[in-house]
């Protein structure tokens, strides 16, 4: 077996969590990531017949039965993942009945997957129905996105349009727009279900006054989506109290969409 600490699916998550902490998005134990890894990749590093322990789960994830994930641990700090991945990450496989997960590696200090695992699984299920190549759900607390939810309308069309107008690349990166949920209690199935419902149409869901859920085919794609939204939100927060002399118009956004071959969400542009 190869050394799992050198496995790309471990090293990539380690680097990403460190970067997210450095950017100030994941204070203390904030944020969580779940990443689907193909069985043939994992089998190069782990004996898939060796289950360390089974962790029960009060959620039916049978749609994901047999799928293997790298998941950040509950209560873990992103700043510590790179130095000690075996304690802060786990490689888990969804049980056949969908009512638990099998620990194949990690959580060496007796830990468990993020408490928001059901919310992650709900979003994985809906994104996989839309995009079979989907692989990652990333939850984080970008400062300016959160700030924007205090001072901007939470209407999805208005929120998206403002972000598109902040930076030329935004429409190209997320032409499908950004979904927004009002404040809800975190860590329970209700917000998980509401997020998953939005994931049927969006790759990004903002949790007002809390953070964002981003998804994608790869770590880079999900991170890049969140990073772009956060940059646009930062620009908005910096200029919102100033007189605006010019901005990106709808006609210019249509020109941009045509040039890059993207289709803006229907009804969002005049």
Taking alpha carbons only, the member of 205, 206, 77, 211 closest to residue 142 is 211
Asked if 81 and 72 count as a contact pair (C-beta separation under 8 A), the reply is: yes
The active-site residue out of 116, 221, 227, 230 is 116
Asked if 51 and 84 count as a contact pair (C-beta separation under 8 A), the reply is: no
Using DSSP's 3-state secondary structure scheme, residue 267 falls into coil
Q: Is 116 a catalytic residue?
A: yes
Query: And the tokens for 221?
Result: 């794609």
**Crossing angle (nearest 10°) for helices 219-239 and 8-22:** 10
List CB contacts of 251: < 8 A, sequence separation 6 or more: none
Asked if 228 and 244 count as a contact pair (C-beta separation under 8 A), the reply is: no
Instruction: Give the phi and the psi of residue 255 in degrees, each rounded to 5.
Output: -60, -45
Beta strands in 95-225 (DSSP E): 100-106, 136-140, 179-181, 204-207, 211-216
Residues annotated as catalytic (active site), given as ranges = 116
């Amino acid at each position: 077996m190869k050394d799992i600490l050198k496995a790309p699916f471990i090293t990539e998550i380690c680097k990403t969590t460190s970067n997210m902490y450095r950017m100030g998005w994941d204070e203390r134990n904030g944020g969580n990531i779940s990443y689907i890894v193909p069985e043939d990749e994992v089998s190069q590093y782990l004996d898939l017949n060796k289950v360390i322990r089974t962790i029960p789960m009060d959620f039916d994830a049978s749609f994901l039965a047999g799928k293997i994930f790298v998941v950040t641990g509950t209560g873990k700090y992103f700043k510590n993942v790179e130095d000690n991945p075996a304690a802060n990450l786990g490689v888990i496989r969804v049980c056949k009945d969908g009512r638990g997960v099998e620990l194949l590696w990690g959580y060496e200090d007796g830990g468990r997957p993020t408490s928001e695992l059901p919310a992650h699984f709900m979003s994985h299920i809906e994104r996989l129905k839309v995009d079979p190549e989907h692989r990652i759900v990333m939850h984080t607390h970008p400062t300016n996105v959160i700030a924007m939810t205090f001072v901007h309308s939470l209407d999805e069309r208005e929120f998206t349009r403002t972000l598109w107008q902040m930076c030329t690349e935004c429409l190209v990166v997320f032409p499908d727009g950004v979904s927004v949920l009002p404040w809800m209690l975190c860590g329970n199935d209700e917000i998980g279900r509401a997020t998953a419902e939005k994931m049927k149409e969006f790759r990004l869901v903002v949790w007002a006054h809390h953070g964002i859920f981003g998804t994608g085919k790869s770590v880079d794609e999900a991170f890049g989506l969140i990073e772009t939204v956060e940059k646009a939100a930062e620009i908005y927060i910096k200029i919102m109290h100033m007189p605006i002399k010019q901005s990106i118009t709808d006609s210019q956004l249509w020109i941009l969409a045509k040039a890059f071959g993207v289709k803006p969400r229907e009804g969002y542009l005049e």
